[in-house]
Amino acid sequence: MHGVRGWALVVGLGLSAFQSQRAVAKVTFVFTFFDVTTGTGAGFDDPVAGAARRAALEATAMAMGERIEQTATVEVGVAPSEVDGTGPIGIGSATFLDTSAGIRDGEVYRRIVMGLPDTDPGLDAGIVFDFGYDVALSGTPAAGVAYFPDVARHELTHALGFGSFLESDGTGFNGTKPDMYTRFDSLLTTDAGPSAMGLAVVDVAGNLLLDMATYASAHGSGLVFDGPASRAANGGAPLKLFGADPTHSAASSDVMFPSPAVGTVRDDWTAFDVAALTDLGYTILPPGTGSMGAIMSPAACGTCAPAASPFIAFILAGIGGMKRSRRSTRLRQ
């Protein structure tokens, strides 16, 4: 899967003609499928598999939404799909309207956790998938086949705020000092072992707190995510993040591991995934405790104009810098 780098400055791109919504008891994700609005004939608009792919994404979002106790509606743009099977299998991020130096929150977090009204006409988040890879929409995937609901949950969890802007040189979203970092970044520390508190990496003003030698060593070997819920879930230790990739978990069982489930099913958050979201400010209910609402039909929008520009270009402009090394596996998310 892919990191949650900056889906920044999403302004002026309103919802287009094809929206799909599922009502849930807690958080409702409303998707705009730009494959459909622009008639790509591929991905989510594929004449054979498109409808099933849309349904699989919506079902995953519904399951996530009913686990989040806060109430909000989140608007997600689904960009025209990739089909070449060469890059990350998925990319996802929230919109960040404020990219000034400091700790900043994406629009998804602001809707759900902070309860702020949606005053911007743009989308709260964006995702894109590469259907050039073989994926199973349900059931147990065959050997070598990725499990699409795992990919979808991973990318939507990035949009919730599980992701870092920290680069190998210590800069963040803008490449400046000080810089803009995520709330997730504010909870990262150096790895000081299972019982010791590490050193904080950035402060609230967006300053890197470590000298470069210390930072380079810590970043290369893997930082840790440190919060009370995370320590409680991990025997008193912070959660280890993937080496040189602090936007992902180091545990292969976690949804937020950088490679998707292949040949097997990974269809729910682990205790570690939930702990990190809890430390970020989400209230996550136990599995099976939510109350699912009715499935709503795609909403008609007779007055909406088609997308003004290819959405994939917007993705590349907004989160091109978030693409990380694919050194360990072919499939990244």
Residue 290: predicted pLDDT: 54
Residue type, 10: V
Residue 105: predicted pLDDT: 96
Q: Does pLDDT of 328 surpass 50?
A: no
Residue 281: predicted pLDDT: 98
What are the phi and psi torsion angles at 43 (to 5°)?
Answer: 60, -120
Residue 195: predicted pLDDT: 74
Arithmetic mean of pLDDT, 218-235: 96
Contact 294, 24 (CB under 8 A): no
For residues 186 and 182, what is the distance between their CA atoms, to the nearest angstrom?
7
Lowest pLDDT segment from 191-200, 276-285, 320-329: 320-329
Residue 326: predicted pLDDT: 25
pLDDT tens, 96-112? 999 999 999 999 999 99
Structure tokens given for 278: 């809890």
User: Which contiguous run of DSSP H or E holds residue 152?
Assistant: helix 148-160
Q: How many beta carbons lie within 10 A of that of residue 294, not counting itself?
A: 8
Higher pLDDT, 122 or 268: 268
Give the chain's mean pLDDT. 83
Contact 103, 208 (CB under 8 A): no
For residues 227 and 230, what is the distance between their CA atoms, to the nearest angstrom?
5
Q: How far is CA 137 from CA 29, 49, 94, 229, 329, in A?
A: 19, 10, 24, 32, 21
DSSP 38: T
pLDDT tens, 167-176? 999 999 999 9
Q: How confident is the model at residue 146 (pLDDT cuts 50, 70, 90)?
A: very high
Residue 4: predicted pLDDT: 41
Three-state DSSP at 33 gives strand
User: pTM for this structure?
Assistant: 0.85
Residue 194: predicted pLDDT: 76
Q: Does pLDDT of 301 surpass 50?
A: no
Q: Does pLDDT of 69 surpass 90?
A: yes
Lowest pLDDT segment from 22-31, 78-87, 261-270: 22-31
| 91 CB-near residues (< 8 Å, 6+ apart) | 1, 2, 127, 128, 155, 315, 319, 322, 323
